[in-house]
Amino acid sequence: MGIVPGCGRGILARRKIAQGETIERAPVIVIPENQWSDVENSILCEYAFDWGEHDEQAAIALGYVSIYNHSYTPNAMLEQLPDELMMEIVALKDIEADEEITINYNGDPENRDPLWFTAASLRRPSKRKR
């Protein structure tokens, strides 16, 4: 982890990483739909991922998964492994040492849809019932 100019914290490669290599595996804590309102008004909301077949739950990933910055041209991708209660970050291409590792927050590395936040507003709409 390091400081990325203009982005704050980010994840930097400590060594060269090969395309297809798993960069990180992290267990998740699943937040049931009926407990989301308790998390929504806390700082944890900023680090939660939609989870479940229909995004009806949320999950907090342990490790560094919540620190990877967004890019529309990412060099890695996030894979959810619901049966294992895990998330993985996998390299989409070779990544050089000291290069920032980024993912597309929309899930699909090629998805160019606008994100749920702007610089002025970090809160995102949730698909979970309130």
pLDDT digits (tens, 9 = 90+) for 17-76: 999 999 999 999 999 888 888 888 888 888 888 888 888 888 999 999 988 988 889 999
Strands 76-81 and 86-91: antiparallel
Among 69, 90, 67, 63, residue whose Cα is nearest residue 78: 90
The whole-chain average pLDDT of the chain stands at: 83
Total structural domains in the chain?
1
Q: Using the 8-state DSSP alphabet, how is residue 116 labeled? A: S
pLDDT value, residue 5: 63
CATH number of 68's domain: 2.170.270.10
Q: Is pLDDT of 121 > 60?
A: no
Share of the chain above pLDDT 90, in %: 45
Say if 124 falls within a structural domain: no
The closest alpha carbon to 8, from 100, 106, 117, belongs to 100
Q: Is residue 111, in this structure, part of any structural domain at all?
A: no
The answer on pLDDT for 114 being more than 90 is no
What per-residue confidence (pLDDT) applies to 7? 66
In a domain, 95, yes or no: yes
The per-residue pLDDT for 122 is: 40
125 or 105: whose pLDDT is higher?
A: 105
CA 13/CA 15 separation, integer angstroms: 5
How far is it, in rounded angstroms, from Cα 123 to Cα 116? 8
pLDDT on residue 87? 95
Q: Is residue 130 part of a domain?
A: no
> Considering the domain boundaries, does residue 56 fall inside one?
yes
Higher-confidence residue of 4 and 16: namely 16
10 is a domain residue: yes
For 63-67, 75-79, 96-100, 109-113, which range has the lowest pLDDT when averaged over its residues?
Answer: 109-113
Q: Domain limits at 95?
A: 2-103
Spacing of C-alpha 113 from chain mean position: 16
Does 118 fall in a domain?
no
Top pLDDT among 127 and 88 is at: 88
User: What amino acid occupies position 109?
Assistant: P
Domain assignment present for residue 20? The answer is yes
